[in-house]
Amino acid sequence: MANQDPQPEIYRVNAAFAAAAAAGTTSVTNITTSQANNEEVRVYALQVALLDEAGTAISSVTGTDVEFDVKITVGANNVPSQTFSLTPAILSESKMLTLPSPILVLYQYPMSITTTCVNALTAGATNGRTLIINLISELALQKVAGTYTDSDFPRSR
């Protein structure tokens, strides 16, 4: 239930990939938005962080094994319809990927994030990767266009 309209929300996804993971290894995370039947969630951006097994951030300058794809599924549909790469966001200074239009999640629509490790990870200590994705979003009441009747606008006759 929204305490304010709109209410800022952040949904977090942790996708862990072990060292020596094969190319194409996926991690699927289901997200529960906990919204009421008159509310909707809008996702505006993704903030990403890439860590090694020790929990140390991977530097974008010297980082290796930083190619990851993501697929966002809402209901039965992928939004956007194609899998897209997170590598530009991981290598950027802002670590943000702003969506051109918000992703809309309505009541009882399941939402899932599928993360794919594009390249094979090398074996050895600290070669595992953990990809953290924060979905920057808001929870808002649905706006309904009303119909007006004579009783809504009293007037003299």
pLDDT single digits (tens) 77-88: 999 889 999 988
DSSP 8-state assignment for residue 6: S
Find the largest Cα–Cα distance for the chain: 85
**Ranges 13-17, 35-39, 137-141, 143-147: which has the least confidence:** 143-147
Distance CA 32, CA 75 (A): 12
pLDDT at 44: 96
More confident residue, 157 or 52: 52
Residue 75: which region, alpha, beta or left (left: phi > 0; alpha: psi -120 to 50)? left
Q: Please tell me the predicted confidence (pLDDT) of residue 4.
A: 78
Distances (CA, A) of 92 to 26, 107, 131: 23, 34, 15
For every residue of 121-133, DSSP letters joined together read PPPSTT--EEEEE
Residue-level pLDDT at 10: 94
Whether residue 105 has pLDDT greater than 70 = yes
Give dist(CA 17, CA 66) in Å, integer.
Answer: 12
Average pLDDT over residues 95-101: 92
Buried/exposed code over 78-95 (b: 16+ C-beta within 10 A; e: otherwise): ebeeeeeebbebbeeeeb
Q: What is the mean pLDDT of residues 127-145?
A: 87
pLDDT in tens, 52-72: 888 888 876 665 667 899 999
Model confidence at 13, in pLDDT bands (50, 70, 90)? very high
- H/E stretch holding 90: helix 87-91
Q: pLDDT band at residue 27, thresholds of 50, 70 and 90? A: very high
Distance from chain centroid for Cα 14: 11
Please name which of 75, 67, 74 lies closest in space to residue 116, comparing C-alpha atoms: 67
